[in-house]
Amino acid sequence: MDAWARARMFQSYLDDQSEKGQWNYRLLTSSGCGPVIEMNGKKLISLVSNDYLGFTQHPAVKQAAVAGIMKYGAGAGASPAIGGHYDYHELLEKKIARFFRKEHAIIYTTGYTSNSASLQCILTKDDLVILDAGVHTSVMEGCQMVNRKTVKHNDLAAYEHILKMSAGKHPLLLVIIDGVFSQDGDLAPLKEIIALCKKYGAKLMVDDAHGTGVIGKTGRGLIEACDAWEDIDLITGTFSKTFGHIGGYVVAGEEMVNYLKYQSRQHLFSASSTPAALAIVKAIELVDEEPLWMSALHANIKYFRQGLLELGLNIGSTESAIFPVRIGDKIKNAKVCFALQQKGVYANQINYPAVSLKDARIRMGITARHEKAHLDEVLNHSYLNNED
Ligand SMILES: Cc1ncc(COP(=O)(O)O)c(C=O)c1O
């Protein structure tokens, strides 16, 4: 089948799902990101954003974006190697590196490419990459053309088995994990994985897209929570969640960062971030300047978690702002999600292939800006666990 035939087939699937009210993607929102959004003229409590500290709407963050545009214009006009590298990019690279107590970082225009593009540049076909099954698609894409072994989520015995079998047999052994996993909201057993990497001579990459700004005493994520500053070879993440904008980064040693700056094609041959990226610089500062947002987020996480547990819902072992309410069956999941929307709650249904067939769930994300009344409103819909 050529692409047009496949598209036709997909269209009939799309139409069928929409008719059954089971299609829940690319829904049109007509207000800004926040705890309450507007859809089709109706207000809904939103549990779909990763704007953990609410910085997309912080006046100082918005002001920094506007000031950046007023000073430098709307775009960078070129890729970094050939005229599109400005002082605000340099500032952002320094800021994010220092946020993680390091000196060197490279920025990408999305969090997705900070994983996929850096890995495509780093890995060769002789290397072996060992991935947790829960890592993001962008990591999988970066490892597509190389030897890879996917380990059952957080299964330390499986990590050890593969590392033991592979030690010394590849130029590079690279283990890749999330800090906070994006679908389960749980944490990687970081200390144990570091110990295994050291034992078998593997390097370690941690994507803490969902831990940054959320966990660790000052919001530096799992690396801070485990005091593992010296043990991670590549820290990756995104500016689209806690930092309220768009873009991504790789924090690493000087030589690796320079290597990526001049060898990573998607960085080298693609236009650099717009001056609105100065919003990120402000957001990074605000994590330290205004700790009240992290405190508010933690209070909300505690309250919501307790409420979901009191309803008897299965939320797995989340320890973050992500709440996977396990429904199990895909059809029922879609129905619950649709019913929630009818009642004024916007949450995402997560189905296969994002999770295994039996693990369909409603993914609920909490931010610092949700009020108790919003959370109570969601918790009042106890039919979340109704069998019918
Ligand atoms: C764990 C993880 N890494 C990377 C990304 C990609 O980041 P972005 O959406 O900013 O491109 C995501 C996005 O959801 C993610 O969940």
pLDDT tens digit sequence for 53-85: 999 999 999 999 999 999 999 999 999 999 999
The tokens describing 374, both together, are 């919003």
Q: What is the CATH number for 301?
A: 3.90.1150.10
Tell me: do 65 and 140 sit in the same domain: yes
Substitution site in 138, 176, 210, 266 for ligand 1 pocket (most atoms within 8 Å of beta carbon): 138
Q: Which residues contact residue 248 at a Cβ distance below 8 angstroms, ignoring those fewer than 6 apart?
A: 107, 108, 109, 110, 111, 112, 113, 114, 115, 236, 237, 238, 239, 240
- Catalytically active residues, by annotation: 182, 210, 241
Q: Chain-wide mean pLDDT for the chain?
A: 95
Q: How far apart are CA 145 and CA 125, in angstroms?
A: 7
Number of domains making up the chain: 2
Task: Please work out whether the CB of residue 249 comes within 6 Å of at least one atom of ligand 1.
Answer: no
Residue 373 resides in a domain: yes
Condensed to tens digits (0 to 9), the pLDDT of residues 305-329 reads 999 999 999 999 999 999 999 999 8
What is the model's pLDDT at position 386?
53
Tell me: do 111 and 206 sit in the same domain: yes
What would the mean pLDDT of 133-151 be, rounded to a whole number?
A: 96
Task: Please work out whether the CB of residue 211 comes within 6 Å of at least one atom of ligand 1.
Answer: no
Q: How far apart are CA 238 and CA 209, in angstroms?
A: 5
Residue written as tokens 């959004």?
A: 37
Residue 4 resides in a domain: no
The ligand 1 atom at the shortest distance from the C-alpha of residue 180 is 1
> Which of 319, 318, 336 is closest to 327 using CA atoms?
336
Q: What is the CATH number for 220?
A: 3.40.640.10
Task: Please work out whether the CB of residue 109 comes within 6 Å of at least one atom of ligand 1.
Answer: no
What is the model's pLDDT at position 388?
46
Tell me: do 80 and 35 sit in the same domain: no
> Which of 135, 140, 170 is closest to 152 using CA atoms?
135
What is the model's pLDDT at position 357?
84
pTM: 0.96
The residue from 256, 289, 322 where one domain ends is: 289
Condensed to tens digits (0 to 9), the pLDDT of residues 212-239 reads 999 999 999 999 999 999 999 999 999 9
The residue from 269, 289, 309 where one domain ends is: 289
Substitution site in 33, 112, 208, 322 for ligand 1 pocket (most atoms within 8 Å of beta carbon): 112
Host domain of residue 247 = 60-289
Tell me: do 30 and 155 sit in the same domain: no
Residue 153 resides in a domain: yes
The residue from 257, 289, 321 where one domain ends is: 289
Tell me: do 274 and 312 sit in the same domain: no
Residue 384 has pLDDT above 70, yes or no: no
Tell me: do 194 and 164 sit in the same domain: yes
Tell me: do 242 and 357 sit in the same domain: no
Residue 303 has pLDDT above 90, yes or no: yes
